[in-house]
Chains A and B, each alone.
Chain A
Amino acid sequence: LLPELVQTSDVELLEAISKGDERALASLYDRYRAILFGLLMRILNNRAEAEDVLQEVFIQVWQRAANFDATRGKPFTWLVTLTRSRAIDRLRALGSRERTVEQATREAEDVIFDAEQNAIESQRGEIVRAALSELSEEQQQVLTLAYFDGFSQSEIAEKLNSPLGTVKTRMRTGLMKLRDLLGRQTQILA
């Protein structure tokens, strides 16, 4: 890759992609493949499926880059939201949510709290994991079931045999606490 592409901002890369610049897409892929693939592996727990979805996500980025509006959101958020959404769709299509949840539950402790990467991402990982650890176990549980396993509030209530109101409260308070905790680290997480 040319050095100028490595230094280019995400927004500039998306602008270039929208104009058909294939090198820009390659650069964006190189920048985020590892973190997005980690997320896909966490959700799908299947390497081949995760690779399929990763490819699908970047094809969609290629197709829809022209519709990305930097005044309305961040490229990283868009990529993660798109990736998670496609992964949950795939999980449902495979009908393998139960399996993944069982596995996720079994491995939750060491999967979520065991990241490694380069210095910056490692630092970001530490901040997010530290913030997550500040939440109660119940709050972590509902957020994990919703975010990584794609369950709705009603499904979580049924799964945990808890009242729907309780699940909503845990989700709301957990998210607000997470927002507060992460909000103090915006410079590092930006």
Chain B
Amino acid sequence: LKEQNEKSEYLAAHALDALNQIEAQELAAEIAEDEGLAAELEDWRNVLANLAYAVPVAEPSPSVRANLLAAIKITPQKQKKIVEDANNGGAVVERPKSSPQPEKSNVISFPTPVRSTRSFWSYAPAFGAVAASIVAVFLGVALYNTSQSNLTQIAELNQKLVTAEQQLNEAQTQLMRERQERELLGSPASAVFSLTGTEDVPGAKARLVFDQKTGKAVLFVEGLPDAPQGKAYQIWWITDPKKPAPGGTFKTGAEGKGELRDQIPQQYTKASFFAVTVEPEGGSQSPTGSIILKSPV
């Protein structure tokens, strides 16, 4: 990462998170000490943020807003601190205003020596200044090396901090999810359906819970072997047997358990028949595989 042009190229790829881990860490350490690089990275992020306009907008369920506003009531806010977060936008890369700024100049000034009337001592300040300059140069080199090492350590520590924050957020999301599931189960508009395995997988069973008002649905599956290579399981919402509506796809784990959170389209929230088929990964628009789980007709 020596040349400026090369750095610019790396910055563009870094803004896309497209560098490998070593390149990204090395560049993050350089960005931490060079505000120009940080600004250039932010420029690239500004360019890339526009790509969000290129995709179709979509409307989340109203419950997301309600849950968010409920969640922040119990979520403490963090105080301003040193954050060097390469993955979350340069805007949060900051230091407290009161923190000491690193020395930008290599020139270290000394007080003007006071001359003595004695001849030997008249040279002492000059000797002292030269000696001090030599010590300063050595100290400067040592400090530079230490600061390089510290910057790498800071970058690594910040990466760990980011990871820890992500884990915390994921845990909070999981908690939120469980609460939403409890709410779903407790909702007066909730409907519960049992699905049983067909002759292909007689030991499989599933429970589908969904809110007929909001369409939020969760499917819990047990005893279903992992789908074949390149295949996944897909649920279907059925009001007209000739036109089943496609739901989400899922896979099962080693113990045959699986879970799917999905949103039932409004026109199918009154559906009373559900089935699961084996489909190509990514799902199908209409069933192509055999039914392996179904609710009673």
A-side interface residues toward B, CB under 8 Å? 18, 20, 22, 25-26, 29-30, 33-42, 46-52, 54-56, 58-60, 62-70, 72-78, 80-86, 88-89, 93, 98-100, 102-103, 106, 111-117, 121, 124-125, 127-129, 132, 143, 146-148, 150-154, 156, 168, 171-172, 175-176, 178-179, 182-183, 189
Contacts and interface: CB of A to CB of B under 8 A. Distances in A.
B297 interface: no
Contacts of A42: 55-56
Contact of A38 (B48, B56, B92, B261): B56
Contact of A20 (B39, B61, B77): B77
Contact of B57 (A38, A65, A113): A38
A47 B18 contact: no
A35 B9 CA distance: 28
B185 interface: no
Interface residues of B, number: 72
B80 interface: yes
B72 A128 contact: no
A13 B193 CA distance: 44
Contact of A77 (B38, B42, B72, B173): B42
B94 A34 contact: no
A125 B54 contact: yes
Interface in B171-194: 172-173, 176-177
Nearest to A95: B251
Given A25-B69, A35-B57, A54-B60, 17 more contacts: A25-B72, A38-B58, A47-B263, A55-B64, A56-B172, A59-B68, A63-B77, A69-B93, A73-B89, A77-B89, A83-B52, A99-B249, A99-B281, A146-B17, A153-B20, A172-B12, A183-B47
